[in-house]
Amino acid sequence: MSPQATPEAPYVAAFEAAEHDGAAHDPAWLRELRRDAMAEFTRAGFPTARRGNEAWKYTDVRPLASTAFAAPAPDDGPGELDLSPYELPCPRVHQLVFVDGRYAPQLSTDPPSEGARSSHVFFERGDGPIVGRLAEAAHYDVPLVHEHLGKHAGAAASAFASLNTAFVRDGAFVSIPDGVSVPEPIYLLFISTGRPEPAAPTVTYPRVLIVAGRDSSATVLLSFESLGDGVYFTDAVTEVVAGPGAKLRCITLQRESTAAYHISTTQVVQARDSAVSSVTIDLGGSLVRHDLSVLLAEPGASVSLNGLYLGTGNRHVDNHTFVDHAVAGASSDEVYKGILDESSRGVFVGHVLVRPGAQHTVAHQVNKNLLLSDEAEADTQPKLEIFADDVTCTHGAAVGALDPAALFYLKSRGIGEAAARALLVHGFVREIVDSIANDAVRQYADEAVTAALGTG
Partner 1 sequence: MLEIHDLHASVNGADILKGIDLRVGAGETHAIMGPNGSGKSTLALVLAGHPAYTVTRGSVTFDGRDLLGLAPEERARAGLFLSFQHPIEIPGLRLDHFLRAGYNEVRKSRDEDEIDVLKFDRLIRAKVKETGMDAALTKRSVNDGFSGGEKKRNELLQMTVLEPKLRILDEVDSGLDVDSLRSVADGINRLATPESATLIVTHYQRILSYVVPDAVHILIDGRIVRSGDKHLAAEIESRGYDWVTEAAQPAPPSVAPTAGQS
- 378 counts as binding partner 1 under rule CB under 8 A: no
- CB under 8 A: which stretch of 10-18, 126-134, 418-426, 445-453 binds partner 1? 418-426
Q: Give 256 or 334: the residue with its C-beta nearer to partner 1.
A: 334
- 372 counts as binding partner 1 under rule CB under 8 A: no
Cβ neighbours of 222 (radius 10 Å): 24
- 419 counts as binding partner 1 under rule CB under 8 A: yes
Q: Give 87 or 417: the residue with its C-beta nearer to partner 1.
A: 417
Q: How far apart are CA 437 and CA 279, in angstroms?
A: 10
- 420 counts as binding partner 1 under rule CB under 8 A: yes
- 16 counts as binding partner 1 under rule CB under 8 A: no
Tell which one of 133, 428, 435, 448 touches partner 1 (CB under 8 A): 428
- 430 counts as binding partner 1 under rule CB under 8 A: yes
Q: How far apart are CA 378 and CA 367, in angstroms?
A: 10
- CB under 8 A: which stretch of 241-249, 338-346, 388-396, 419-427 binds partner 1? 419-427
- CB under 8 A: which stretch of 39-47, 153-161, 415-423, 435-443 binds partner 1? 415-423
- 415 counts as binding partner 1 under rule CB under 8 A: yes
Residues touching partner 1, count (CB under 8 A)? 24
Q: Give 16 or 434: the residue with its C-beta nearer to partner 1.
A: 434
- 416 counts as binding partner 1 under rule CB under 8 A: yes
- CB under 8 A: which stretch of 29-37, 143-151, 298-306, 399-407 binds partner 1? 399-407
- 106 counts as binding partner 1 under rule CB under 8 A: no
Q: Give 215 or 431: the residue with its C-beta nearer to partner 1.
A: 431
- CB under 8 A: which stretch of 105-113, 166-174, 237-245, 402-410 binds partner 1? 402-410
CB 323 within 8 A of CB 352: yes
Q: Give 153 or 372: the residue with its C-beta nearer to partner 1.
A: 372
Tell which one of 424, 443, 450, 452 touches partner 1 (CB under 8 A): 424
3-state SS class at 156: coil
Cβ neighbours of 89 (radius 10 Å): 12
Sign of the alpha-carbon torsion through 102, 107, 112, 116 = positive
What's the burial of 121, exposed, middle or buried (CB within 10 Å: 0-12/13-18/19+)? exposed
- Cα 398 to Cα 149, 368, 371, 391, 430: the distances in Å are 38, 5, 10, 24, 17
- Cα 88 to Cα 95, 107, 165, 221: the distances in Å are 10, 13, 29, 10
Q: How far apart are CA 29 and CA 129, in angstroms?
A: 25
Tell which one of 147, 375, 385, 403 touches partner 1 (CB under 8 A): 403
Residues with Cβ within 8 Å of residue 45, at least 6 apart in sequence: 6, 7, 8, 159
Tell which one of 31, 43, 62, 411 touches partner 1 (CB under 8 A): 411
Q: How far apart are CA 384 and CA 358, in angstroms?
A: 14
CB 46 within 8 A of CB 64: yes
Q: What is the closest distance, in whole angstroms, from the C-beta atom of residue 406 to partner 1 in the complex?
A: 5
- 408 counts as binding partner 1 under rule CB under 8 A: yes
- Cα 236 to Cα 107, 193, 207, 347: the distances in Å are 21, 16, 6, 19
Q: What is the closest distance, in whole angstroms, from the C-beta atom of residue 424 to partner 1 in the complex?
A: 7
- 279 counts as binding partner 1 under rule CB under 8 A: no
- 423 counts as binding partner 1 under rule CB under 8 A: yes
β-pairing, 316-325 vs 287-296, is parallel
Tell which one of 179, 426, 450, 452 touches partner 1 (CB under 8 A): 426
Of 251, 253, 246, 235, which Cα lies nearest the Cα of 269? 246
Length of the chain: 456
Q: Dihedral through CA 430, CA 433, CA 437, CA 441, nearest 10?
A: -140
- 429 counts as binding partner 1 under rule CB under 8 A: yes
Q: What is the closest distance, in whole angstroms, from the C-beta atom of residue 402 to partner 1 in the complex?
A: 11
What's the burial of 200, exposed, middle or buried (CB within 10 Å: 0-12/13-18/19+)? middle
Q: What is the closest distance, in whole angstroms, from the C-beta atom of residue 419 to partner 1 in the complex?
A: 6
- 452 counts as binding partner 1 under rule CB under 8 A: no
The neighbouring-strand residues paired with 269 are 241, 295
- CB under 8 A: which stretch of 57-65, 191-199, 343-351, 413-421 binds partner 1? 413-421
- 65 counts as binding partner 1 under rule CB under 8 A: no
The contact set with partner 1 (CB under 8 A) reads: 403-406, 408-417, 419-420, 423-424, 426-431
